Copies of this chain bind each other. A is one copy, B any other.
Amino acid sequence: MADGSIPSFKAADLVIQLSSALQTKPDVTGFGSVFTDHMLTIEWSATEGWQAPHIKPFGNLSLHPACSSLHYGIQLFEGLKVYRGDDHQLRLFRPTLNLDRMANSAKRACLPAFDQSELLGCIRRLIEIEQDWIPHSGPASLYIRPTFIGTEPTLGLKKPAHALLYVILSQAGSYFNNEAEGLSLWADPKYTRAWKGGTGDCKMGGNYGCSLSAQYEAVDYGCQQVLWLYGEDHQITEAGTMNIFLHWINEDGEEELATPPLDGLILPGITRQSILEITRKWDEFKVTERYLTMGQLCSALKQQRVKEMFGSGTACVICPVGHIVYQGERLHIPCQDKTSLLTSQIVKELTDIQNGRTTSDWTLLV
């Protein structure tokens, strides 16, 4: 879409105003609480179209109190990371997949289209300016959060005539605290994350807001996250805000790595897709997008056919599952640490690409 067929802002039109008061960069500890010195903002209106993109000092947004993003959830986001390689070069991991997904979400949210390559150009410029924020060593990286909100300043549900696309950057250390023990999941069909005809395959805010009280009910049951079930047969769909994988000997006695198919309920995760592509390339076991039910999991656990389960996502990369609380039982999931052959091999292959130790067209130099 670099041909300009979509009316869009242009990276070449960037207006850059640098901050005169740069922060001291703290050590990277958590996720998402420390932001860099600058942000990217791009305004759109139905009458004026896209305005020139701006990079300016990080600061609060001034929003009309009737803003459609605050009332009607007309909002979406993306999440990707930029890594500093062993060769000191900065690499984005498969950013075009994030931008494709963002375009899908925008269509679903009735927000305007834009030229994705122009947004990528603006993000690269922002990263260049903020490059000192990208850690020089260790597993930490810089998290990029493109956000797109309706800013229509009138009440009544309608397609917004005003919108704001912005990008903020945040330090990204470890996402969960006790990965060593494996994540504990609460599986109860009383809450549903996504449904046919809904927005489960888009990264829209409403998917998350409606999941929060279930997460805290999970905490009441001594668990960290929700294992989201769907339908009468308790299909396994996602875990917390992650895609879910099961490595097992399936019903037919085959070694299989399985994850639910992209049927509209499942977020098409970039890490999910990368894991599928990496393990299919290995060709060491069956790799399948298929439905998985709690009944199938329970049978496999009884018959000791489960090798491991893990969540995947940009923030956490891979997060092994330690146990699941389901129908009053605490199901122990084997091999819940990162030293397992499979997850450690996947993590190594992914991080080797992200850090430039392996040459790959999955990374884009900044």
Contact check: which of B70, B149, B212 meets A147 at CB < 8 Å?
Answer: B70
Residue A312 is within 8 A (CB to CB) of chain B in the complex: no
Determine which residue in A70, A143, A166, A198 has the highest number of CB atoms from chain B within 10 A of its CB, and name it: A70
Contact check: which of B166, B199, B213 meets A108 at CB < 8 Å?
Answer: B213
Whether the pair B216, A159 counts as a contact (CB closer than 8 A) is yes
Residue A241 is within 8 A (CB to CB) of chain B in the complex: yes
Known A71-B147, A192-B198, A197-B190; judge A212-B110 contact (CB<8 A).
yes
Residue A85 is within 8 A (CB to CB) of chain B in the complex: no
Known A109-B209, A205-B209; judge A60-B65 contact (CB<8 A).
yes
Whether the pair A208, B72 counts as a contact (CB closer than 8 A) is yes
Whole-angstrom CA separation of A92 from B168 in the bound complex: 43
Whether the pair A66, B206 counts as a contact (CB closer than 8 A) is no
- Interface size of A by CB at 8 A reads 65
Residue A257 is within 8 A (CB to CB) of chain B in the complex: no
Whether the pair B72, A109 counts as a contact (CB closer than 8 A) is no
Q: What chain B residues lie within 8 Å of A64 (beta carbons)?
A: 60-61
The B-contacting residues of A in range 81-129, CB under 8 angstroms, are 107-110
Known A31-B155, A109-B209, A159-B212; judge A61-B65 contact (CB<8 A).
yes
The B-contacting residues of A in range 144-168, CB under 8 angstroms, are 145, 147, 149, 154-159, 166, 168
Known A145-B155, A168-B65; judge A208-B109 contact (CB<8 A).
no
Whole-angstrom CA separation of A1 from B64 in the bound complex: 32
Contact with B along A172-204 (1 / 0, CB 8 A): 000100000000000001111001111100001
Whole-angstrom CA separation of A147 from B212 in the bound complex: 18
Stretch at the interface among A18-26, A32-40, A346-354: A32-40
Whole-angstrom CA separation of A192 from B74 in the bound complex: 17
Q: What chain B residues lie within 8 Å of A62 (beta carbons)?
A: 60-62
Chain B min CB distance to A141 (Å):
14
Whole-angstrom CA separation of A189 from B71 in the bound complex: 25
Residue A355 is within 8 A (CB to CB) of chain B in the complex: no
Q: What chain B residues lie within 8 Å of A334 (beta carbons)?
A: none
The B-contacting residues of A in range 228-253, CB under 8 angstroms, are 240-241
22 interchain pairs (CB within 8 A)?
Answer: A35-B65, A39-B65, A65-B168, A66-B168, A66-B170, A71-B75, A72-B208, A72-B212, A73-B75, A73-B207, A107-B213, A108-B210, A145-B155, A155-B170, A157-B208, A159-B216, A191-B198, A192-B196, A198-B210, A205-B209, A206-B207, A206-B209
Question: Across chains A and B, which 6 residue pairs bring their CB atoms closest together, nearest first?
Answer: A206-B206, A32-B155, A73-B209, A73-B205, A192-B197, A72-B208
Known: A71-B147, A73-B210. 17 other contacts (CB 8 A): A35-B66, A60-B65, A61-B62, A72-B205, A73-B204, A108-B210, A109-B212, A143-B155, A156-B175, A156-B315, A157-B212, A158-B215, A159-B216, A189-B197, A191-B197, A191-B198, A206-B207
